[in-house]
Structure 1
Amino acid sequence: MIVESRFSGKRIVVTGAGRGLGFAFAERLGREGASIIIAEIDDALGTDAERKLKGQGIDARFVRTDISSETSVEAMAKIASCDCDGIHGLVTNAAWANNVGGKSYTDIPPDVFDRMLAINVRGTWLTIRAIGPRMKDGGAIVTVSSDTIYWGAPRLLHYVTSKSAIVGMTRSLARELGDRMVRVNCLLPGLTMGEATKDIPEDRWNDYAGRQILKRKQMPGDLDGVVAFLLSDDAKFITGQTLAVDGGFSLH
């Protein structure tokens, strides 16, 4: 059920929207009136996400997208913009994050390190490269990094490196797109409950929550409103910024 109309008449692309945070973002934006493009690599997840969103009265379309492929991303961007006068928003949520930790910096295979950068860094760039020229002046982009860049999570070097690059990319893009009044900001989630984190041991959850100021597990609902805010006109004079949403685990 659509409850608000802050994004009525606006089209927003959310990558990796088949599940987890991406789906939560798409659902929140759709409930506020946005037309959603679900850019997802997994056919089953993408189809199911489209069905769920449409069941709530949300205008949603699944477009299979491999963000590490220039051809795939360009095809998605063409479809996303084919029947409208421009894309209004983008959330570059898609990333490789499942089961990537546990190895020392000396034990990460070079091909795994390269794949991490190809998906998380190059994929984010390819997505913005394809969508940016099709975005309406005054639109907004939210990139997704991680609060691990602030505290240097051990045994996650390749992941933390990739997410650190997203912050630098955000700042440069904000300056490049600013002449069109297109805003680019970066969200840094903390450890969040969801499919990507379901295998994390309970003691790690407890340790993380114990070091937060707000001592409870973080849920997707703690983040979707922040994304909606950053994409909305309520944040019309905010760009090039990073915002950690992690219950006070990191303070910057």
Structure 2
Amino acid sequence: MGSLTGKTALVTGASRGIGRAIAERLGREGALVAVHYASNTEAAEHTVKSVVASGGRAFAVPADFGTAGAVDTLFDGVRTGLREHTGAAELDILVNNAGIMGGVAPEELTPDTFDRMMAVNARAPLFAVQRALPMMPDGGRIINISSALTRMALPQEVAYAMSKAAVEMISLHFAQHLGSRGITVNTVAPGVTDNGSEMLRNPEVRAALAGTTAFGRIGEPADVADVVAFLASSDGRWITGGWLDASGGTLLGTSAR
């Protein structure tokens, strides 16, 4: 019996990287996991198969957060999948993980790029929480994935950091709003994590980034997933409105902190 046996969860952006690791971990703990993805059906099915292979249950749901009505599309699919698997459309855990980065100099940032980033990274999580609440029983869990970049500067990701700062406000304000229902709302902020980026295949880049952490290594998706699983469990019941640094102590002791 896992800590989440009998629970249901939705993980956005779960076709790869941190999202996939979160879906796999929640599945191992017994949750039925709705695996959200934008367009890569093959990658999403890989996540589903991985969850099932480890003894869990999962189904995939597509929705492109950069398009109008995407959150409604997502929750239509989630409700359908939950009813098929459990007979009811009840959602215990929401993990807002989906996000896109910019990687351009501030002078080159365009309004269209900014708007898409805010739509995917900030607007979608806000309305995902709104849509989830009628389906969520008292004592539910909402976990928003932010970034350590809201606490340190990386100019080419200014728009990304802005969008993730907005996500943190979702956690803060909804934590207060939902406290009477026993629903916890928290933020987890990863640092540099090995999501399969081409950049991290460069040994020099990898070594330099590893040197910024207290542990001298780059984070793995499972490092973040374990923190999320704790918050999703009953053990996390007394934490709400929190910001949990899951960056491996990136830049500890520097002025950026």
Q: Structure 1 length as normaliser, TM-score? A: 0.91
Shift of 1:85: 5.5
**Structure 1 CA distance for aligned equivalents of residues 162 and 205 of structure 2:** 21
Indicate conservation of the 8 Å contact 1:16/1:40, yes or no: yes
Match of 1:150 in 2: 151
Match of 2:10 in 1: 13
Bigger shift: residues 184-193 or 70-79:
70-79
**Structure 1 CA distance for aligned equivalents of residues 198 and 24 of structure 2:** 21
SS in 1 for 2:137: strand
Shift of 1:250: 4.5
* Residues 1:23 and 2:20 are matched in the alignment: yes
Match of 1:134 in 2: 135
Shift of 1:123: 1.3
SS in 2 for 1:211: coil
Counterpart amino acid of 1:150?
Answer: R
**Structure 2 CA distance for aligned equivalents of residues 113 and 80 of structure 1:** 28
Cα shift readout 1:38-68 (whole Å, capped 9, x = no counterpart):
0111222222222232233311011112234
Match of 2:69 in 1: 71
**Structure 2 CA distance for aligned equivalents of residues 145 and 231 of structure 1:** 16
Aligned pair partner of 1:91 in 95, 101, 113: 95
Match of 1:229 in 2: 230
Shift of 1:118: 1.0
Q: How many residue pairs get matched?
A: 245
Cα shift readout 1:112-136 (whole Å, capped 9, x = no counterpart):
1111111101111121121122111
Shift of 1:166: 1.0
The unaligned stretches of length 5 or more in structure 2 are: none
**Structure 2 CA distance for aligned equivalents of residues 233 and 85 of structure 1:** 21
Using a 3 Å threshold, how does the CA distance of structure 1 residues 68 and 123 change in structure 2: closer, same or farther?
Answer: farther
Shift of 1:209: 1.7
Cα shift readout 1:203-242 (whole Å, capped 9, x = no counterpart):
3332222122111121112111100001111010110010
* Residues 1:36 and 2:37 are matched in the alignment: no
SS in 2 for 1:39: strand
Percent identity between the aligned chains? 32
Shift of 1:77: 2.1
Indicate conservation of the 8 Å contact 1:116/1:162, yes or no: yes
Indicate conservation of the 8 Å contact 2:66/2:116, yes or no: no
**Structure 2 CA distance for aligned equivalents of residues 115 and 67 of structure 1:** 9
* Residues 1:117 and 2:118 are matched in the alignment: yes
Indicate conservation of the 8 Å contact 1:7/1:34, yes or no: yes
**Structure 1 CA distance for aligned equivalents of residues 106 and 89 of structure 2:** 47
Counterpart amino acid of 1:22?
Answer: G
**Structure 2 CA distance for aligned equivalents of residues 44 and 85 of structure 1:** 25
Indicate conservation of the 8 Å contact 1:67/1:127, yes or no: no
Counterpart amino acid of 2:10?
Answer: V
Shift of 1:91: 0.6
SS in 1 for 2:35: strand
Match of 2:167 in 1: 166
Indicate conservation of the 8 Å contact 1:18/1:48, yes or no: yes
**Structure 2 CA distance for aligned equivalents of residues 7 and 169 of structure 1:** 24
Using a 3 Å threshold, how does the CA distance of structure 1 residues 222 and 5 change in structure 2: closer, same or farther?
Answer: same
Using a 3 Å threshold, how does the CA distance of structure 1 residues 121 and 248 change in structure 2: closer, same or farther?
Answer: same
Counterpart amino acid of 1:56?
Answer: S
Indicate conservation of the 8 Å contact 2:146/2:168, yes or no: yes
Using a 3 Å threshold, how does the CA distance of structure 1 residues 250 and 165 change in structure 2: closer, same or farther?
Answer: farther
Cα shift readout 1:57-104 (whole Å, capped 9, x = no counterpart):
31101111223446332233244343325211011011113xx21x32
Match of 2:59 in 1: 61
SS in 2 for 1:94: coil
